[in-house]
Amino acid sequence: MINPQVRESLKKHGILDDNSLQLYVPCIGRIPPEFLLKALKNGVKKIVIVPCESDKCRFNVGSNVGVFRLILLQRLLRQIGLDSDALFFYRYFIRAQINRHKCIGCGNCAYTCPGNAIKIVSPGIAQIDEESCLGCGACVSVCPALAINLEGFENDLILGAISRYRPLIEEIKVERKKPVIAVFYCQWANFPAPDKYFTYTEDNVIFFEVPCSSMINPLYVLKAFYEGFDGILIAACKKSECKFEKGNEIAEKHIKALKDILKQINLGGKLEICFVAPRYLGELDNQIKLFIEKLNNK
């Protein structure tokens, strides 16, 4: 997966340009070599694979398998006199970062981190062990000082993206008389398909990607309601299938607590969490439809 920060880095190094097409896959280990060769044969000039770090692969060996295949394909291209640079891989892994000047040393992040990658050090501020960081963002959701950010998914970036939809939300409500839904989905729970016939296409549903459902900060939810969204659905991985081990459990716990608070202002029923997997085609679509029906019946 290529988040905005990685895309900008690739552009800076001349690897990608504005005409590049981005495709999502569950794991690069699942990309058949013949698919890459056929893409080059059909006119694709360069293919960039962005694997996880070898020891952070959510499927254990998927990253190593994908890179090994790519190296073999590069050798094959050289042997037959073709440009091996047409295949390229760029290793990248998302990590949390702490602003030491904002940190208040509350310890919420250290308590919540499923990878035990955070500890409180002198003079009472949080410190992240980069080697242990899973990149899930669970620490982001519990930081009251907004001192923690995840590379490529910074708080300001997400809040800004939510705000930009206000004009569209108003237009849909006035002209189309539909409730407008925000869907925050874990990148492992849903893979947007390039073909519109295999993804939800209704204009009143707006998607926001996060690395893990545990990253959903209550501030994102409140901001979405403030900007005019009528309902918010969180799409997490299925139970026992979280790539970060406990990310969906953390998300479920946080959403339940937030719903209890929102009930006091009659918004509790407008926030839900569902558990889906991309291998079940149409499952997230069905959850969205059920959620919209629930909102319409209130």
Domain containing residue 108: CATH number: 3.30.70.20
Residue 28 clears pLDDT 90, i.e. is over it: no
What is the arithmetic mean of pLDDT over 279-287? 86
**Sign of the torsion formed by the C-alpha atoms of 204, 193, 71 and 93:** positive
Radius of gyration of the chain (CA): 21
- 259 and 133 housed in the same domain: no
Boundary of a domain, candidates 67, 89, 111 = 89
Boundary of a domain, candidates 65, 89, 113 = 89
pLDDT tens, 159-188?
Answer: 999 999 999 999 988 887 888 999 999 988
Q: CA 261 to CA 144: how far, in whole Å?
A: 16
pLDDT of residue 202: 72
Q: CA 258 to CA 247: how far, in whole Å?
A: 16
276: amino acid identity, one letter:
V
61 falls in which pLDDT band (50, 70, 90)?
confident
- 288 and 210 housed in the same domain: yes
69 falls in which pLDDT band (50, 70, 90)?
confident
pLDDT tens, 209-246?
Answer: 898 999 999 999 999 999 999 999 999 999 888 888 88
270 falls in which pLDDT band (50, 70, 90)?
very high
Q: Are 118 and 89 in contact (CB under 8 A)?
A: no
245: amino acid identity, one letter:
E
Residue 198 clears pLDDT 50, i.e. is over it: no
Domain total for the chain? 3
253 falls in which pLDDT band (50, 70, 90)?
very high
Q: CA 221 to CA 234: how far, in whole Å?
A: 10
- 289 and 169 housed in the same domain: yes
Of the candidates 98, 227, 105, which has an alpha carbon nearest to the alpha carbon of residue 154? 98
| Residue carrying the six token digits 């960081």 | 133
- 84 and 168 housed in the same domain: no
**Domain that residue 142 falls in:** 96-150
pLDDT tens, 93-112?
Answer: 788 999 999 999 999 999 99
Q: Are 151 and 227 in contact (CB under 8 A)?
A: no
- 146 and 161 housed in the same domain: no
- 61 and 105 housed in the same domain: no
Q: CA 219 to CA 145: how far, in whole Å?
A: 11
- 203 and 166 housed in the same domain: yes
